[in-house]
Amino acid sequence: MLSYAQSSILIVVALVISTVLVAVLNRVWPTAHRKLVNDVTGWQLGILGTTYGVILGFMLYTVWNDFRVAEINANLEATSLLTVSRIADGLPSPEREAFHALGLKYADAAVNQEWPAMQFQQDSNASEVVLRDMWKLLTVVKNGEAGGSSSVDHLTSAMSDLSEKRNLREQEFQVRLPGILWLLLLAGAGATVGSACLLGNDNQWLHYCQVLALTFVVSVALAAIADLARPFEGAVSVTPIAMERARTMMQP
């Protein structure tokens, strides 16, 4: 969802905010006074940090797992398209050439139109249009002389797999992390970092370093979750390399 530059800016902003917060607290609430409540804020930070760490780790694992599933499905879609093209070799001419041409057109539409559109959060059904033409051609083949051959049955199965994988990719693109989870993550980040800022420490530079380290880890984790939660957008995204490879292999 975010580029590396945008993520870096947000992380720097978070670090600046936490630094300013500590500086303001040191001015309005001196360290000597805050040390008196360290017994309270200390255990609170321990429990809060542990709870939030578990939530953050679970969310990061979940979005990474979903990202890998989307990546695997994109590879399977390319494999299904390649399978359709290879099975079509058993069809008579001119249906064989027509399937090969549509397969190349499908790969071109996915690589050159759909993937760029998904990067900009835009819908595109370019390959869906080609897929409908492939199904129409399959109907013609079934009604023709080769309708009862085993190649047609295998081709029907491969076409079904291709349609399923494309629909899954469309769903993975449309799914968004619920707002209530973002509210939980951001509120937890604010509460955890804020509690760390409240601690009293005679060594102010050490306190700054502790708060900055915590802020850095939390902000980087949130940026990673934001990026991985949308597998076809942002700096880290599922690439069409498998579809490009399939297109190359289908070319005469």
Sole residue written with tokens 């390399």 = 241
What is residue 30's predicted lDDT score, i.e. its pLDDT? 82
The rounded average pLDDT for each run of 10 residues, N- to C-terminus, in the chain (252 residues) is: 84 95 88 74 82 95 96 96 91 87 96 94 90 92 68 89 95 92 95 87 87 95 93 91 94 80
What residues contact residue 105 under an 8 Å CB cut-off, 6+ apart? 130
Q: What is the pLDDT of residue 148?
A: 53
Contact between residue 119 and residue 129 where contact means Cβ atoms under 8 Å apart: no
Amino acid (one-letter) located at 46: G
The pLDDT score that the predictor gives to residue 163 is: 95
Rg (CA), the chain: 27
Tell me the DSSP string of 12-79: HHHHHHHHHHHHHHHHHS-HHHHGGGHHHHHHHHHHHHHHHHHHHHHHHHHHHHHHHHHHHHHHHHHH
pTM over 0.95: no
The rounded Cα 151 to chain-centroid distance in angstroms is: 37
